[in-house]
Structure 1
Amino acid sequence: MNEYLAHLLDRNYSPATVRAYGYDLLAFCRWLSEQDLALERVGTDTLLDFLHACRQASVPGRPGPNVVSLDGQRLDRYAATTINRRLAAVSGLFTFVGLRDPAARNPVPKGREGRWQAAGERTGLLAHTTRRRKPRSALRLREPRRLPVALSPAQAATLVGSLRTWRDRAIAGLMLWCGLRSMEVLGLDVRDVDIGGRWITVTGKGAKQRRVPLDSDVASVIDVYLLAERPATEADRLFLVAKGPRRGQPLTAAGLRTIFRYHRGLTGVAGGHPHALRHTFGTVLAEAGVDLSVMQALLGQSPSSSLCK
């Protein structure tokens, strides 16, 4: 399993994905140990039992079985997305075993191939740019399809107005007016921002790079941050820790969550999460009638993926 996780890193999977798969495989191994089963004996029936155990398991730290959501679902159970991710981790493990041993059988059954996005994409002029969705296992659970939650103009103004440092304003501006993901913002280097040319070079999922127009107001905020607030350091990252023992080191995802958690409590904007600012950017583009392909290019989305993910 460690070799499989190392293989994912070699294939340029993000460290967060590899970490999540590692915990998923750890849960699978613990369940196999409780059932006194070896990995070589795992079959489709075994996977069905494992998925059933995941659906019945309680999440530590969640409210008890008497607390349910408005749709009647218990809040102490694992979400369908979590269980499907565990299935994907196990399926990928057996696929990796098959690469090393062609005689090994993958116990995860394959499902039907995904449908085309639209009727004309198969024979249209741009059909060669459209990728089929990968076949998904028949064991996958049905996941609820929820619309992205965006902030209203008043909520966005209240949240951004509560930010006091130029660094925090620049981070919020890049997500709200440029549509960047939080990890894309934290991964920016100083050389990635062309303030004079109003462009940003963004490295997204799968190390895919794209150029995003830089809003003039956000460019001004970044310029002031670089001149007046950014600590003197040899680090290449754009956004750094400003105070404390880690001063001058790159800002982490945990630090960014702490900032927004504090300002959510300060302003009372309950939905003021970092990713909500990106959703707000996509919603504004959609309401303005921007073409879907342009929106996908700005947001760094492939044609087959959901918007604002």
Structure 2
Amino acid sequence: MARDFYEVLGVSRTASQDEIQQAYRKLARKHHPDVNKDPAAEERFKDLNEAYSVLSDPKTRARYDRFGEDFRKIPEDFDDRVAAGAGGGFRTRRTAGAGAGGPRVRYTTGFGDDFSAEDVNIEDLLGSLFGAGAGAGSAGVPGADQEAELPLTVEEAYKGGRRTVTLAGPTGQPRRYEVDVPPGVTDGQRIRLAGEGGRGSGAAPAGDLHLRVRIQPHPQFRLDGRDVHVQVPVTPWEAALGATVPVPTPGGTAKVTVPAGSSSGRRLRLRGEGMPNPRGANGDLYAELRVMVPPTLGDRERELFEELAATSSFDPRRTR
């Protein structure tokens, strides 16, 4: 007959871990077979070791407190499996009348059944809940959710639209999915394809397939959330005199006004020209100016630059 591990160690059910350890050490010295020659000492010592091995581990102790003597029959991922297989409706409650393993525990499923540890074989109960050896009427276990990456260019993420994605199926064969990509998706965002994940057992539904968006590096654009950064080359005279120049955006070409006297590194903000946001304000586009000089000069260009050099007093290296 199973004994209550708390009774074996002579401690209360609310005993601290230190109290459990102290009780074990005291009783182990007393009943150790090398010290105690009583024929029953060896069996008593084994009981002490078993009780201490269970109650000294907080996780194992919690399972013992919850399920009593049947705790070893309950899988460690019990709650996760129940949440998946029984709709999260499997609960335990204690009833009056302590038994050998502490108070009796009743198991209540989400299907209206109510069992005590003495009424049913726990393994059979778990099997019926999770589909192992279940009959034709078993609800089965829902399929697992799965995840895959969906690579997109910046332009594809900006515009959205329908895309065809090919992924490896459960048997290794390619499977094609039609995906509606919302405009303005961001890197790391997930797109859910309901029922396209792992297959469920029995009549249980399949899981979902989550496609995690991965926006690929772009030769022009750099994304920061929904904001877009781009470098815009300008000529020395555009930077000095001011000009309106075209600037690329993921949605096409826009215009930006370069203020007179601009230098490389100056950032100009185009409000709302970044990635679209279906739930709020669009991101912004930041155009960073880069002043470029001709790689080679014609005769007249050289003359003009030499004249400018002789006339201008501007010295960018002079300390103000």
TM range (shorter): under 0.3
Whichever of the two has the greater Rg, that structure is 2
Give TM-score scaled by structure 1 length. Answer: 0.22
Normalized per residue, the structure richer in strand is: 2
Q: RCO (CA 8 Å, sep 6+): is it higher in 1 or 2?
A: 1
Normalized per residue, the structure richer in helix is: 1
